[in-house]
Chains A and B, each alone.
Chain A
């Protein structure tokens, strides 16, 4: 099946007065219909910028190279009018902080209805009814009253329900959720994740979940992409990734998650060192300086993202993550010379 969103060899760089830094380096990925893909990485790993580029939301000093196709047509660098036909209707986004992503002076009902009026040409009164129905679907209690309230009168969890509802109004094919739970407290996080899961079953949209928290995406994602320093270092089915991580970085991340069964007084392991600065030129593997398994080769030759079925060294004929990644969307891939053994 053709993917809904396919990103090919995308590089996003920011030009600064004295230099140019790359936040995303030659990333390729594909999202199939109804699929939930999680993109996991720490701050600055470029996970958000990939999708900012896709949505045409890059800052003025950013340039994107490569290709982003949505339903087969190129949207990278498309003009605003063309993008505006897709954005908000077929391809929508949920932002990190619901406190700031709603316009403060407009009532909830107007903000929701505006999306429908804008994209479907419905009348305001029809759109308002649809907005109320959507609030019911995203489990906002007392939706009729909420429509007449301003964002500051709602709690964070409710507001994120509203923004999720807003993203679903036009029955999108793909929703990009950029750390949708980061700004919320833990119990509300779980509710929002439950809501996203339920909405996925009801609406059947594909979902890209951007997060720095493996625990948040664990129960929701079909497939997880782990990013480090602007590149995808591992791609695997969700269950597989947790069962046997292949990339040392993924392995280290998983060890950092506290468990209920482990020794309670032991210190959690931490990852020594800092991620590389985006302007550092990286000849070898970006993770090598922090990697306990790093060898000389890791510092000189960058490992490609390739199939990780067999542990055998296939470095030279390894498949660079390219268009072939799309056909084998579910395949196990890792960018490491010496992957952890299964």
Chain B
């Protein structure tokens, strides 16, 4: 793969949009992780002297404060961290489950495939918002529930993609050769099928991260996601939406972070797809 990977990296490098997007994502991740060290204000500290103050670089609060006097910069960094974590963890889970499930369904085929795909169709038929509300009502509000709900649907598309790729790989001669060499089903799936489907899967995964971040923000905006005093970009935006007329920065700061993050992730995912997809050249 070294040759193929080198090619992909070279193509990615020659795509300025994707490179910029990559730096922006890296910058936001670094800021979310290390930013709080350079910010004297904690995300839960109330500054009663500066309630809902405007953003100003000279003051202690660069991006201003919300209506409880909490530092908006610190809050937004925490929100970014939580949103990124949800996006990455949920994508990783959907990647692992989706690859395993899809590869088995596609390779084993027959009745197994039939049953496994029907299960996916049933799950993807669930109306997600109602499902989340239902879970919240039954089990009470919790962040783990959010992971569960997103995880329950995140892997479905991934499994479908992997299955489709596996179906085309399964007919290839090298799989037949592996069978003829006495390799068992498990070995063939792990060593000969999965590595060959990984290209499109990685690309899809990078595009899943922004989708999941968006979805999490959406749920949080509706009040179904992350709860106070914790923050995600969605809860911050919901909070800001209430003060939109009096203090627009409370909406615009987390909103801007979310927009930039999603845009950069999507551009990077697109660039990665172009770089890995040899057929387009």
Contacts and interface: CB of A to CB of B under 8 A. Distances in A.
Interface in B159-186: 172-174, 176-185
B180 A84 contact: no
Contact of B173 (A85, A95, A106, A115): A95
Contacts of A277: none
Given A105-B1, A118-B187, A153-B3, A83 B182 contact: yes
A314 B222 CA distance: 91
B176 to A, nearest CB: 6
A57 B182 contact: no
Contacts of B191: 103, 106, 114
Nearest to B176: A57
A200 interface: no
A100 B172 contact: yes
Contacts of A166: 181
A118 B181 contact: yes
A87 B184 CA distance: 11
Interface string B181-216: 111110100011001100000000000000000000
Contact of B182 (A85, A97, A100, A153): A85
A115 B174 CA distance: 14
Interface string A67-87: 000000000000011011111
Given A57-B176, A101-B176, A92 B3 contact: no
B69 interface: no
B109 interface: yes
B181 A101 contact: no
A163 interface: yes
Nearest to A93: B180
A87 to B, nearest CB: 4
A92 B181 CA distance: 7
A187 B185 CA distance: 38
B110 interface: yes
A3 B248 CA distance: 88
Interface string A146-182: 0000101100000000010010000000000000000
A103 B176 contact: no
A88 B174 contact: no
A272 to B, nearest CB: 34
A81 B186 CA distance: 12
Interface in B120-139: none
B196 A92 contact: no
A48 B181 CA distance: 17
B182 A119 contact: yes
A57 B174 contact: no
Interface residues of A, number: 34
Given A95-B173, A103-B192, A103-B196, A115 B185 contact: no
A222 to B, nearest CB: 24
Nearest to A84: B182
A84 B109 CA distance: 20
Contacts of B195: 105-106
Contacts of A83: 182
A56 B181 CA distance: 11
Contacts of B192: 103, 106
Given A106-B191, A153-B3, A95 B176 contact: yes
A57 B180 contact: yes
B180 A87 contact: yes
B177 A80 contact: no
Given A84-B183, A150-B3, A153-B3, A103 B178 contact: yes
B243 to A, nearest CB: 54
A118 B185 CA distance: 13
A102 interface: yes
A80 B108 CA distance: 13
A55 B181 CA distance: 10
A102 B2 CA distance: 17
B181 A57 contact: no
A104 B196 contact: yes
B176 A105 contact: no
Given A92-B180, A95-B173, A60 B110 contact: yes
B196 A105 contact: yes
A163 B177 contact: yes
Contacts of A250: none
Interface in A104-152: 104-106, 114-115, 118-119, 150, 152
Contacts of B180: 55, 57, 87-88, 92-93, 95
A86 B182 contact: yes
Given A105-B196, A153-B3, A88 B173 contact: no
Contacts of B182: 83-89, 115, 118-119
A60 B109 contact: yes
Contacts of A105: 1, 195-196
A105 B110 CA distance: 27
Nearest to A100: B173
A162 to B, nearest CB: 11
Centre residue among A57, A84, A85, A86 by max chain B CB count within 10 A: A84
22 contacts: A57-B176, A57-B180, A83-B182, A84-B182, A84-B183, A87-B182, A88-B181, A89-B182, A95-B177, A95-B180, A96-B173, A100-B172, A100-B174, A103-B196, A105-B196, A115-B182, A118-B182, A118-B187, A150-B1, A150-B3, A163-B177, A166-B181
**Which 5 pairs between the two chains have the least Cβ-Cβ distance?**
A88-B182, A88-B181, A87-B182, A100-B173, A84-B182
Given A87-B181, A102-B177, A115-B181, 18 more contacts: A57-B180, A60-B109, A81-B184, A84-B183, A85-B182, A87-B180, A88-B183, A89-B182, A93-B177, A100-B173, A104-B196, A105-B195, A114-B183, A114-B191, A115-B182, A118-B182, A118-B183, A119-B182
